Amino acid sequence: MPANVITITSGKGGVGKTTAVANLAVGLAMDGAKVVCIDGDIGLRNLDVILGLENRIVYDIVDVIEGRCRLKQAMIRDKKLPELYLIPAAQTRDKNAVSPSDMNRLIKDLRSDYDFVLIDSPAGIERGFKNAIAAADRVLVITNPEISAVRDADRVIGILEAEDKGPGALIINRLNPTLVKNHNMLSAEDVLDLLAVELIGVVPEDENVIIGSNRGAPVAFDPKSKAGQAFRNIAKRLRGEKVPFLDLDHSGGLWQQLQRLTGRK
Amino acid sequence: MHSLIQIKGLRDGLLVSLDDAPWEEQRDALLAQVDGQQSFFHGARLALDVASQVLHVNELVELRDQLSERGIFLWAVVSESPTTEKTAQLLGLATRISKPRPEENRSFSVEDLGEETALFLNRTLRSGTRVEFSGHVVVLGDVNPGAEIVAEGNVIIWGRLRGMVHAGAKGNRNAVICALDLSPTQLRIAEEVSALLKPRAEPTPEIARINADGKLQAEFWSPG
């Protein structure tokens, strides 16, 4: 079966694109899928760091495109998951080193051998973003429950529609249920109300995400982390499984848990 | 033939201005225009400016009946000719109307109101979208924050308006903006700008226009 090519993008920077790519890749590979992730953020590469593969880079995506190495040579195998590969970005070049047709050609070569190709898009809506979505079968738009991030997500969804890449599916990242409950943060419903697209996952705010990123061990490896669970669930949904959404509202107090046990809301 | 007559919108109806060409020709031109845009004229209140045209009772009665058959109510005839004025008074028609201020004349002619000069958008306008149009704009969908519509005529949003809309962009102060949920980032009509629309607890259809004090104001949108 040919690979499913999925691009993760957001418009705004810092909302968790790279973290999401790393964790979804780990989630998919843990379930036995063959996964390649590509860092599309040429000049500002990060995905290698989050996956903990920085010190293994010899060749990068620009080397492949410019013919200095074969595709396989630029693919770095993950430390723990043998079916997970990374194609890193070049750090010393910029976005103009790659064109959308280069991306199409590169991904065409990957399609037959893998189940999923995940592409990490740079922030913005310029060349790098266009490169990242060029070959995508499906686009995941990630946002935070903040007005500025939602606004940018809206813009990106508009561009995706205009480019015939569909409206995409939405990941809401770093949701803080306590803040939402006190009306100090947009709720998932508020975000969906505005963006009006399919929701594929809500990831709660979780300090383990940062700890995992710094260690080079994505939080999806952590069986106890709620965020890790949320990312693993999204990975399952990408494979077509029906997984119920995490119950983020009732995670907190003992009192709510008791109420739930006794069947009262 | 159309060039013989000019049609403008007044606050309370339409003003049709004729020139000094022969009466029959002008009358036929007016009726032809009315027949051509029945849905627009139907139910209209019409004032007629006949310039220096001398008209007698039978001529005005005939026109009034012909208009009436088409669902148009002729309520005033304005003329420079004392004879015509007298005729109109005899028939119980008004002879003085408050003419629109010059700046209102710039647009809002019948040509602008024709079906072909409204832009219909059957989609949601997302952030970064800018729509500019020389007529009216109708959106079946939402206008999200960061989206902009600039129209010379009216703007109707069948959905939620959260972005920026400028109606009457060329100075038409009669332009209106309506939406099922009017919570814009900013509204502009002609030169008036307003960002101070309080969000309502329950979204209600509202219409924004320039009120008698010259301020941009939103009110509940009710038919009639």
Query: Which of B71, B100, B129 is the last residue in one of the domains?
Result: B100
Q: Do B127 and A161 touch (CB under 8 A)?
A: no
Q: Does B124 touch chain A (CB under 8 A)?
A: yes
- Is the whole-model pTM more than 0.80? no
Domain tally, chain A? 1
pLDDT over threshold 80, residue A256:
no
CA geometry: angle A76, A77, A81, nearest 5 deg: 150
Average pLDDT over residues A127-152: 95
Answer yes or no: is B88 within a domain: yes
Q: Does residue B122 share a domain with residue B58?
A: no
Q: Do B146 and A154 touch (CB under 8 A)?
A: yes
Average pLDDT over residues A165-183: 93
In Å, what is the CA distance from B174 to each residue of B105, B109, B196, B209, B214?
Answer: 10, 12, 20, 7, 11
pLDDT over threshold 60, residue A218:
yes
Of B128, B145, B162, the CB nearest to A158: B128
State pLDDT tens for residues A44-65: 999 999 999 999 999 999 999 9
Any idea how long chain B is?
224
Answer yes or no: is B106 within a domain: no
Distance (Å) from the C-alpha of residue B145 to the closest C-alpha of chain A? Answer: 7
User: A192: which chain B residues are within 8 Å (Cβ-Cβ)?
Assistant: none
Q: Do A154 and B126 touch (CB under 8 A)?
A: yes
Of A159, A161, A194, the CB nearest to B144: A194
Q: Considering only alpha carbons, which residue of chain A is nearest residue B160?
A: A194
Which domain does A92 fall in, by range? 4-261
Domain tally, chain B? 2
User: A151: which chain B residues are within 8 Å (Cβ-Cβ)?
Assistant: 127, 144-146
**What ipTM score was computed for the predicted complex, to two decimals?**
0.74
Query: Which of B100, B133, B153 is the last residue in one of the domains?
Result: B100
Q: Do A155 and B126 touch (CB under 8 A)?
A: yes
Closest CA to A140 of A200, A100, A84: A200
Residue B203 and residue B180 in contact, taking contact as beta carbons nearer than 8 Å? yes
Q: Output the pLDDT for position B105.
A: 33
Q: Do A157 and B142 touch (CB under 8 A)?
A: no
A174/A148 Cα distance (integer angstroms)? 14
CATH of the domain at B80: 3.30.70.260
Q: Does residue B82 share a domain with residue B175?
A: no
* Chain A contacts in chain B segment 16-45 (CB below 8 A): none
Q: Do B126 and A152 touch (CB under 8 A)?
A: no
Q: Does residue B120 share a domain with residue B82?
A: no
Which domain does B155 fall in, by range? 112-220
Average pLDDT over residues A84-102: 93
User: A157: which chain B residues are within 8 Å (Cβ-Cβ)?
Assistant: 126
Q: Does residue B126 share a domain with residue B67?
A: no
pLDDT over threshold 90, residue A251:
no
State pLDDT tens for residues B105-134: 333 333 344 444 788 999 999 998 999 988
Q: Considering only alpha carbons, which residue of chain A is nearest residue B147?
A: A155
Q: Do B128 and A159 touch (CB under 8 A)?
A: yes
CATH of the domain at B210: 2.160.20.70
Query: Which of B100, B123, B143 is the last residue in one of the domains?
Result: B100
At A264, the pLDDT band (50, 70, 90 cuts) reads very low
Tell me the torsion sign for CA atoms A228, A229, A232, A237: negative
| Helices A207-215 & A226-238 angle (0-180, nearest 10) | 80
Q: Output the pLDDT for position B113.
A: 47
Answer yes or no: is B42 within a domain: yes
CATH of the domain at A23: 3.40.50.300
Can you list the residues of chain B whose pLDDT is less than 50?
1-2, 100-116
User: B128: which chain A residues are within 8 Å (Cβ-Cβ)?
Assistant: 154-155, 158-159
Answer yes or no: is B56 within a domain: yes
Q: Output the pLDDT for position B31.
A: 86
Q: Does residue B180 share a domain with residue B118?
A: yes
A61/A52 Cα distance (integer angstroms)? 18
Q: Considering only alpha carbons, which residue of chain A is nearest residue B127?
A: A155
pLDDT over threshold 70, residue A6:
yes
A26/A139 Cα distance (integer angstroms)? 18
Q: Considering only alpha carbons, which residue of chain A is nearest residue B162?
A: A194
Q: Output the pLDDT for position B114.
A: 47
Q: Does residue B127 share a domain with residue B89?
A: no
Q: Which residues of A touch B (CB under 8 A)?
A: 147, 151-152, 154-155, 157-159, 161, 194, 196
